[in-house]
Every structure is written in C-alpha cells, then in structure tokens.
Amino acid sequence: MIQIFFILILVLVIIIFSVDFLVNKDTEGSTFSSVERIASQKVGLLLGTSKYIRRGELNKYYENRIDAAVALYKAGKINYILVSGDNGTLEYNEPITMKNDLIERGVQEECIYLDYAGFRTLDSVVRCKEIFGQTEIIVISQKWHNQRAIYIAESKGMKATGFNAKDVSVSYGFKTQMREKLARCKMVLDLMFGKRPKFGGEKIEIE
C-alpha cells in the first residue's frame, strides 16, 4: 500500500513538472521584458490582482503590473488597456482600483476598458476575444503568468505576446510560484474539457 502511495506521488510530480515544461517550451520567445523589443498592438490585456496583501502592505505584483502597463502605453506600444480582474463583491473591485491608478499615472481614461468578470486567467483571455473582440493582444503580468495566458490564447486561436512586469524575490513569491505549477495543470484540464468563462455578456468592441 505504501509503495502504491509513493508511486502515485511520483506520477503526480512528473505530471506537474511535465506540464510546466510544456507551457514554458510552447511560449518560448513570446514574452518580452524590454519595451523596445516588443511589437506594438492595439490592446494590452492587464491581468488583475489585489492592490494590498495581508497586513495592508502594497502588493508588489500589483505595483509592478501597473508600472509595466504605463510603460507600454507611454511608449506608444499599445493604444488601449483592457483591465481584467475580479469584482466578486461590492467591496472588492480589482478593475476599478487598477483603472484609478493607471489614470493617476497618466493613462487617458478613454483608453481604458474594464472587464469586471476576469475571475480567472482563462476567463480574462477568452472574454478578451469573445466580449471585447480582440484576437491579437499583449498580455501584461509577470512572466510566469504571461506564459499561461499566452498558452490559453493560442489554444483559442488568438495571437498573443507578453510584456513581463518585474517579478518579485524568491522568498516573497515562493507560494505563488508553487500555486502557478498547479494552476497550469488545471489550465490544461480546463482546455481539454472546454471550460467556459463564468459569465458572458454583451459585446463591447474595442475599436
């Protein structure tokens, strides 16, 4: 019985790292950390996260994503920013918070679109195509997150590149990195079984 248990654990570990390798390999050359090197697109898809973490500290992932989106916009690499995040309750609204900070940093309000139903990365990417009418985008987040989003986009017939927001230290992001490996496995299952976004809605074309 113990041997079976360890065999199952071994198989699980192999699957997790195989999926991780697959995503890294498939998206190789699709993410960029330099504004100068990335090709321009009409829309940048800014993936949401909470502004603050426990103890009320500013979330470094959030701060760095805002920096990245502003850098792309000011360099003329994108014309519009689609902010996609969680607005699950009246008290929690990632898109509005990010919009306010983008405007404060100099992004014109009319250049910002909001997707309040980006509860997961899959939802954000699929809704970007189906609701907002975009098939070619720059995804804006940390590299590991961009890779997963690009993998989803390509599986849905989209053309996507990623602009990498500055990452955090190993100690700060260790738990997030571990969750990401599991999230990639779940993503593969979601794609295999045709998982759909939680919400649909009327089309809001970004023209």
Evaluate if pTM is beyond 0.85.
Answer: yes
Question: What is the percentage of the chain residues whose pLDDT exceeds 70?
Answer: 100
Beta strand pairing call for 159-165 and 31-32 = parallel
Judged by DSSP in three states, 84 sits in strand
pLDDT tens digits, 72-81: 999 999 999 9
109: its two tokens: 């309000």
Domains of the chain with CATH codes: 26-192 (3.40.50.620)
Helix runs in the chain, H state only: 2-26, 60-74, 94-104, 121-130, 143-155, 170-192
Distance between CA atoms of residues 89 and 168, nearest Å: 28
pLDDT in tens, 91-126: 789 999 999 999 999 999 999 999 999 999 999 999
Residue with tokens 């701060």: 63
For the chain, the residue count is 207
Looking at residue 76, what DSSP letter applies? T
pLDDT surpasses 80 at 90: no
